[in-house]
Amino acid sequence: MDSAKIIQQHKRLCNLVSEKKIKQSLDILADMITSSSSGDLRDEYENIVMTYRNMLTYTIEGIEDPERNKIYLKLAQSILGLSDRIRQDILSHYSGWNTYWVKQQTEKEMKMSGKTIVETVDDLMFKSELDEWLKLSNEINPDPESEISRKHKHLIKNIFNHLWLTDYYGEAENSLIDIILNSGKFRWYEASIFTSAITLSSFRTWQSAKLLHLITIYNLGQKQVRERALSGLILNLHYYNDRILLYPEVTEVIHKMSHDSKFREQCMIIVLQIIRSRETEKLGKKLHDEILPQVAKLKPRIEEKLDLDNILPSEKNEEKNPNWSQVFNDSEEIFKTMEELTKLQMEGADVYMTAFANMKHFDFFKDFQNWFIPFYPDHETVNEIYRDEILGPGTNELAEALYKTPFICNSDKYSLLLNLKYLPSAQKSMMLKVFRMELDGLQEINDENSDTDPYRSFRTIVTQYLQDIYRFFKLSPYKKEFEDLFAGKLDIYNSEFFRMTCNASEAEAGLADYFFSKDFYSDALSLFLKQVNDRPSDAQLYEKIGYCYQKSAVYEDALRYYRRAELIDRKPWTLKKIGLCLRRLGRNEEALEYYLQACDMEPENIHTVIMTALCYLDLKNYEQALKYYFRVEYNEPDNLKILRPIAYCYFVLGRFDDSEKYYDRLSAGKLNAHDMINKGHLALCKGNKKEAVDLYRQSIISGELSEEQFMAIFAEDKGILVSLGVNPDDLPILLDYLLFSIG
């Protein structure tokens, strides 16, 4: 049985129900039932079909039914519920997943104990252990090696598994959650993983009761627990966006809660952190690229041949408008300095995912619940460090520093601790010093920020928890059993939940600028476009919309919005952007007009001068291009890169001696493969065939270009060579001679 097919069918069915395409959803449901082993499910399907056909008949015949909307809603819920159960039934029999193996083992143990159905809390297989724990005094802190402690750990695991693996909560689960919340017998970190179990159970099987439990925990739970409950609630509301409006018992509660400004602010913090997780892979890639920089691919185009983009590497023609404010104050060059890295950490950027990805192989992470356990100084993993000869004396400081640091998520804290045991002695000593410094630094941060951000603690807990969940979905051995919440677009700003809880226009404006600052141009664009009607005279808004289109290579639309911005606020930056789009569209003469206007407005701007020269180069007006390149040479006499296009312009104009002088000056630096080809062309035009072949050979053996790339470039340049007097009949012979000399 193809588990992936069932999952896709189920997802498609849910979408159809939300679109009110009931007949199509029933067709998919009928196909899913053929793969199920339960006859009861087919009977329920037949009842649903009969009810719907009757409703259709009454409607067509014009019979008024005041209950029709309620019946329709109930019918949609029944279809979704039945499809959920069929999905679970098929996956439990054919997926081979750990989830269902654990579930089946639990069911076997229940049968052996004489119970098959859990209806009340007394039916729970671990009820005796639960009662025993509830009777103990709150002051008792059992020895980790004691029998009481061993039983308690087993109880915690049983409760977690029960809440995670139960498809539909009833009286027993309601009572169990009430005990967890109100007995005072469970520590905050235990209640935290129980909350995660409810969240995971909801991902596995929808039930509105589970979301209502998360809401209750948010309202009544302890610190650290309530943050996890709200995070789990928001993730579920986004995950089930297609069906949430079908369950008014949930939406009505959320509508009421949204009147509380604190709730709205906390929701926005979580939404932003969920969206920020999209940066994780990009940050990891940038970090990796700092260590192993990627080599830019060479393309046989005129700009690349002449290395025009790097004449002024600090200012490229793709730059954002320097007048735009950075809403979130993020640095563009993320890993340029340690200070910038720290800023990203403070904002909640997940800079450690790559570093810790390879530290999840410990047995600790084979235990499902440990992916969600908060770090706390009394955890048994910390106790193991006490036995270490070097780390032992500093264990308390080490554990305290790890517990307090806001920059590392719980999962990575355990990874770090488990890895410490295997480090050489010198590194262990160094790590202890680092953690002592960390404690001092954290105290300073706490003193500085204690009054400035009332949500700082909430933000830290949420950030670490969401990073824990991210690691579970990306790195855990069980990840294939869950749909990756972080794999999609994460456009939570388009969800029903977001509309219910947030001030849409204000929140969307902030998110748009955030997306823009992080180069998520597609998301930023969709939000910027929503603001146009409310801000028709905002030139900066049009600039940003144009820039988003430009970065997506939709140049016609970019041009349209840049021109709107120009009508409101005419400035060189906008003119150059219009010119850039026109160049990309092949409208080179129009592009030149705009660059000339920009040049008139800022004659001293070297970047504008270079782009104007490039436009003349596009139009093959080499005399005019030279005039502008000379301006750059005059203002920046030490800029060797400007010699390249000057030498080339002289060459195509047939002024070979002048071209040679500039290539000789360029040789003071390092010639690239394209320089060698152009020098070879120059030698060929001057009648020096052997010198030309030698330069061509050097361009290939340099490793920058393959033979195929060289041949393509040479074919592009053939017309220029012939126009400059080279005999076209010589060229095939020269190329074959070159290839023989290489081979």
Q: What pLDDT is recorded for position 301? A: 47
Confidence at residue 287, expressed as pLDDT on a 0 to 100 scale: 62
Looking at residue 315, its pLDDT comes to: 46
Q: How far is CA 20 from each of CA 49, 55, 72, rounded to the nearest angstrom?
A: 15, 14, 10
Query: Quick one: average pLDDT of 411-429?
Result: 86
Q: pLDDT at residue 293 above 50? A: no
The mean pLDDT of 373-384, rounded to a whole number, is 89
Greater confidence (392 vs 575) lies with 575
Top pLDDT among 588 and 492 is at: 588
pLDDT (average), residues 348-359: 81
Which pLDDT value is given to residue 309? 61
Give φ, ψ of 367 to 5 degrees: -85, 115
**pLDDT-based confidence at 39, cuts 50/70/90?**
confident
In this prediction, residue 125 has a pLDDT band, given cuts at 50, 70 and 90, of confident
Q: What values do phi and psi take at 411, rounded to 5?
A: -60, -45
Amino acid, res. 238? H
556: amino acid identity, one letter: E
Distance CA 342, CA 353 (A): 15
Tokens standing for 579? 């010119």
* Mean pLDDT calculated for residue range 110-129: 83
Look at residue 278 in the predicted model and tell me its pLDDT: 81
In 3D, which of 211, 212, 192 has the Cα closest to residue 202? 211
Angstrom distance (rounded) from CA 233 to CA 213: 9
CATH of segment(s) 644-743: 1.25.40
Each residue's pLDDT tens digit, 613-656: 999 999 999 999 999 999 999 888 888 889 999 999 999 999 99
**Would the CA dihedral through 498, 504, 507, 513 be positive or negative?**
positive
pLDDT for position 183: 92
The pLDDT of 565-579, averaged and rounded, is: 95
The mean pLDDT of 58-81, rounded to a whole number, is 91
| H helices present in 520-587, as ranges | 521-531, 539-551, 555-568, 572-584
Across the chain, what does the average pLDDT equal? 86
Mean pLDDT value across residues 206-224: 96
Question: Is the CB of residue 276 less than 8 Å from the CB of residue 349?
Answer: yes
| Cβ atoms 643, 617 nearer than 8 A | no
Residues in the chain: 743
Contact 152, 140 (CB under 8 A): no
Q: Rounded to an integer, what distance in angstroms lies between the CA atom of residue 577 and that of residue 611?
A: 11
CA distance 218 to 202: 16
pLDDT above 50: residue 319: yes
**Which of 57, 2, 54 shows the shortest CA–CA distance to 31?**
2
For the stretch 6-24, pLDDT in tens is: 999 999 999 999 999 999 9
**Which value, to the nearest 10 degrees, does the dihedral of the CA atoms of residues 444, 448, 451, 456 take?**
-70
Average pLDDT over residues 100-129: 84
Task: Say whether pLDDT at 333 is over 50.
Answer: no
Instruction: Please tell me the predicted confidence (pLDDT) of residue 66.
Output: 87
Query: What are the tens digits of pLDDT across the range 155-193?
Result: 999 999 999 999 999 999 999 999 999 999 999 999 999
Residue given tokens 């047939």 in the structure block: 654
**Pick from 582, 648, 662, 573: which is nearest to 301 by CA?**
648
Say which residues have a Cβ less than 8 Å from residue 174's Cβ, sequence separation at least 6. Answer: 209, 213
pLDDT digits (tens, 9 = 90+) for 683-713: 999 999 999 999 999 999 998 999 999 999 9
Residue 286, pLDDT score: 64
